[in-house]
């Protein structure tokens, strides 16, 4: 693999360019939310009641709206919501946007109380949620745009990997699998004991020297980020030297720990006697977290059932007319803490589908070693194939969610035959309720290997957050509009 010495156009300033895009759209949607709330609720001529009416211009709601817009933009900037460290992946960006928005209205409320300003509560109660929703939607749309660019190799950090050959291959594989994170590997500097070729085996990463050649390798490749994949051969002093040689604000140093699939809330860095100790908390599911998730399930499932009730009736009629009864297929699945429950689906197969399964096991051509999938399963009815394509057969599971045996988001509920093949660590999936949709369903669906499916499910279980559930639901809606295959 030849060394890429030419720097891609805009390799250094894509961060500033993307941040400016966000700044412009943030300003537009905040103005829409604030001035829209003012115009829709109050009109543009109503005055704010203040203790000193003679203050020129300040008594106008227009002036208050301008103040809110300015404070909102400043708070988004101070909270670092447009940093390249949080954009593109994860839920940190969304959490910062929401938290900074709530902070703005907290400051407004405190200021109004201290200054005895009588502002319309309806105006504020429309502007705040309206602005947050618009900000999250635009950030989500920008994220989709950014990921599309990153799939083409644009808007990415050019990375130089430094460490042992084994650790470099591992990190390179993880970065390749998650291109949306925005890292393009430009080369590697391998520890002396592992150096032995121009590139690293099957991954094809050009080797640009030993760990003492980091500075020259960065100049050669135009890399703007150094990722230390292992420190055993470098030592603390060499890591310091590498960090000192980086251009402040333009080049970055990243330390990649050997632990994987652990996300933000569980990781805390605490400096102790000059050592940046990384604490990884054990997974905890507090009563508060369970309450929030349950309320989301109840209100979400009830709302969707009410909204889609005409669709449910039409599908029921179609299933009954085309293939008879039963309309609902009830299957035993394994839920939280390994307890069995009955999962509901619209019947998409012939009535005796389970009896025919054994004869089809040898014909499996999709899925993975544990989960049975078949591209053209002969048991699926014509109507069932359409239902599966658009995931409409899953809609009755909303009743499972409402009843408490399932959640809107969670690991896929397995059947007993699959559970019998589980390794010990896979049983951690049962720490939470199974879900209608989940992380693995929006990350590859039937194309994933069993190992990848387990990894994603366990990552969800160990790093759950309310924001991650919202993101998965948004991705599920997007996937339903652009359906994939109809495997079973």
Interval 411-456: pLDDT, tens: 989 988 888 888 888 888 888 899 999 887 777 655 667 777 888 8
**What's the CATH code, domain 157-258?**
3.40.50.20
d(CA 470, CA 405): 20
Vertex 189 angle, CA 183 and 193, to 5° = 140
Q: What whole-number percentage of the chain has pLDDT above 70?
A: 77
In the numeric block, which tokens belong to residue 149?
A: 């660019």
In the numeric block, which tokens belong to residue 363?
A: 């014909």
Residue 312 pLDDT > 90, yes or no? Answer: yes
Lowest mean pLDDT of 6-15, 59-68, 120-129, 334-343, name the range: 6-15
Q: What is the pLDDT of residues 96-140, one digit of tens each?
A: 999 999 999 888 888 877 777 776 778 788 889 999 999 999 999
Closest CA to 113 of 159, 63, 51: 51
Residue range(s) occupied by CATH 3.40.50.20 in the chain: 157-258
d(CA 189, CA 214): 6
In the numeric block, which tokens belong to residue 309?
A: 């009730």
List beta partners, residue 367: 372
d(CA 199, CA 14): 28
Q: What is the pLDDT of residues 80-104, one digit of tens each?
A: 899 888 888 778 889 899 999 999 9
Closest CA to 400 of 447, 459, 330: 330
In this prediction, residue 310 has a pLDDT band, given cuts at 50, 70 and 90, of: very high
Which residue shows structure tokens 């429950």? 341
Q: Read off the pTM.
A: 0.64
d(CA 279, CA 259): 12
- DSSP 3-state of 268: strand
Closest CA to 168 of 217, 133, 125: 217
User: What does the radius of gyration of the chain's CA atoms come to, in whole angstroms?
Assistant: 27
Average pLDDT over every residue of 345-357 = 75
CA dist list (Å): 241 to 159, 210, 248, 289: 18, 15, 14, 43
State the pLDDT at residue 61. Answer: 73
- DSSP 3-state of 373: strand
State the pLDDT at residue 405. Answer: 94
Q: What whole-number percentage of the chain has pLDDT above 90?
A: 25
- DSSP 3-state of 417: helix
Exposure string for 345-362, b = 16+ CB within 10 A, e = fewer: bbbbbeeebeeebeeeee
d(CA 435, CA 53): 57
């Amino acid at each position: 693999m030849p060394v890429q010495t030419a720097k891609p156009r805009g390799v250094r300033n894509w961060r500033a360019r993307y941040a400016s895009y966000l700044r412009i759209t943030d300003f537009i949607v905040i103005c829409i939310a604030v001035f829209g709330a003012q115009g829709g609720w109050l009109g543009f001529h109503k005055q704010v009641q203040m203790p000193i009416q003679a203050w020129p211009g300040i008594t106008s709601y227009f002036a208050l709206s301008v103040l809110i817009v300015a404070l909102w933009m400043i708070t988004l900037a101070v909270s670092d919501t447009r940093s390249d460290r949080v954009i593109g992946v994860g839920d940190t960006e969304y959490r910062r946007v929401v938290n900074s928005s709530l902070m703005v209205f907290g400051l407004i409320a405190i200021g109004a109380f201290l200054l005895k300003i009588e502002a319309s509560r309806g105006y504020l109660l429309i502007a705040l949620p309206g602005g947050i929703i618009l900000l999250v939607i635009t950030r989500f749309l920008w994220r989709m745009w950014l990921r599309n660019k990153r799939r083409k190799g644009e808007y990415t950090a050019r990375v130089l990997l430094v460490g042992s050959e084994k650790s470099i291959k591992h990190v390179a594989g993880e970065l390749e699998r998650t291109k949306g994170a925005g890292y393009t590997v430009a080369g590697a500097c391998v520890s002396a004991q592992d150096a032995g070729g121009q590139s690293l085996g099957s991954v094809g990463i050009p080797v640009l020297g030993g760990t003492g050649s980091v500075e020259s390798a960065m100049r050669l490749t135009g890399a703007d980020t150094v990722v230390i994949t292992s420190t055993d051969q470098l030592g603390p002093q060499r890591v310091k030297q590498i960090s000192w040689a980086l251009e402040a604000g333009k080049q970055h140093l990243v330390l990649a720990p050997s632990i994987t699939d652990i996300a933000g809330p569980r990781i805390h860095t605490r400096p102790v006697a000059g050592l940046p100790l990384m604490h990884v908390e054990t997974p905890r599911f507090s009563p508060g977290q369970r309450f929030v998730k349950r309320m989301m399930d109840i209100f979400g499932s009830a709302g969707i059932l009410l909204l889609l009730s005409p669709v449910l009736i039409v599908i029921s009629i179609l299933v009954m007319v085309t293939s008879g009864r039963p309309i609902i297929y009830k299957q035993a699945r394994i839920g939280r803490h390994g307890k069995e429950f009955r999962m509901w689906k619209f019947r998409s197969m012939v009535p005796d589908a389970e009896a025919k399964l054994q004869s089809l096991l040898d014909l499996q051509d999709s899925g993975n070693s544990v989960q049975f999938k078949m591209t053209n399963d002969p048991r699926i009815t014509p109507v069932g194939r359409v239902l599966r394509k658009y995931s409409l057969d899953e809609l009755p599971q909303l009743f499972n969610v409402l009843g408490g045996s399932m959640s809107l988001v969670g690991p896929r509920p397995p059947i007993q035959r699959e559970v019998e093949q589980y390794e010990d660590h896979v049983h951690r999936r049962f720490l939470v309720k199974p879900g209608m949709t989940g992380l693995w369903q929006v990350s590859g669906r039937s194309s994933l290997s069993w190992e990848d499916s387990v990894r994603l499910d366990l990552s969800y279980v160990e790093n759950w957050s309310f924001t991650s559930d919202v993101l998965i639901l948004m991705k599920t809606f997007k996937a339903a509009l652009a359906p994939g295959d109809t495997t079973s």
